[in-house]
Chains A and B, each alone.
Chain A
Amino acid sequence: GAGVSQTPSNKVTEKGKYVELRCDPISGHTALYWYRQSLGQGPEFLIYFQGTGAADDSGLPNDRFFAVRPEGSVSTLKIQRTERGDSAVYLCASSLEGGLQETQYFGPGTRLLVL
């Protein structure tokens, strides 16, 4: 079956602009995660959805970052007033039910560059 997909694969924007990054999880997976991976670093947790609700958004760095999952499937990560420091690869993952032992399946990521 299809894996996790993310669009766009690359996004170049200017400082101060608004961007949206999309994640399409594996069909039937109720848990969805967003991570951010800066150059030379491991992924860092941003937010976790269980169904339509954000169960843990403790990793969002500030109020410029927001994510939604209105129908419990596709999720969109929204970044307002982008800054150069937001440049990173944004990874999305999904798992079947969100259990701690479950495997998280990752998408290929969206590489965001803020000029």
Chain B
Amino acid sequence: AQSVTQLGSHVSVSEGALVLLRCNYSSSVPPYLFWYVQYPNQGLQLLLKYTTGATLVKGINGFEAEFKKSETSFHLTKPSAHMSDAAEYFCAVSDGQGAQKLVFGQGTRLTINP
């Protein structure tokens, strides 16, 4: 079964600093990987996804993530944090064997310090 591990339930960075949110997955087949963001009292919004092709994926709001098969990782980064980036971030995997569900990590709450 697929699983997702997000290292660090809380991450705090200063405004303008690098954001790095870690995600590792386990999958018996090539995975499809997703990052979602959840703002307070709102639904999940897709930041970016990896399906096939280029392993460096660019998303909305300046975020990007790199699929590293050898490390089974899909870490999310942003060069310069903005106050509006404060939210909960979820990494998810969709297996390639027919199950349509997404398996989510436990989430990382990102706090931006002024």
Contacts and interface: CB of A to CB of B under 8 A. Distances in A.
B107 A56 contact: no
B97 to A, nearest CB: 9
A107 B43 contact: yes
Contacts of A33: 100-102
Interface residues of B, number: 29
Contact of A59 (B41, B101, B105): B101
Interface in A83-113: 91, 93, 98, 100-101, 103-109
Given A42-B106, A109-B43, A56 B51 contact: no
A44 B100 contact: no
Contacts of B106: 40-42
B99 A43 contact: no
Contact of A108 (B43, B90, B103): B43
Interface of B: 4, 9, 32, 34, 36, 41-46, 49, 51-52, 90, 92, 94-96, 98-107
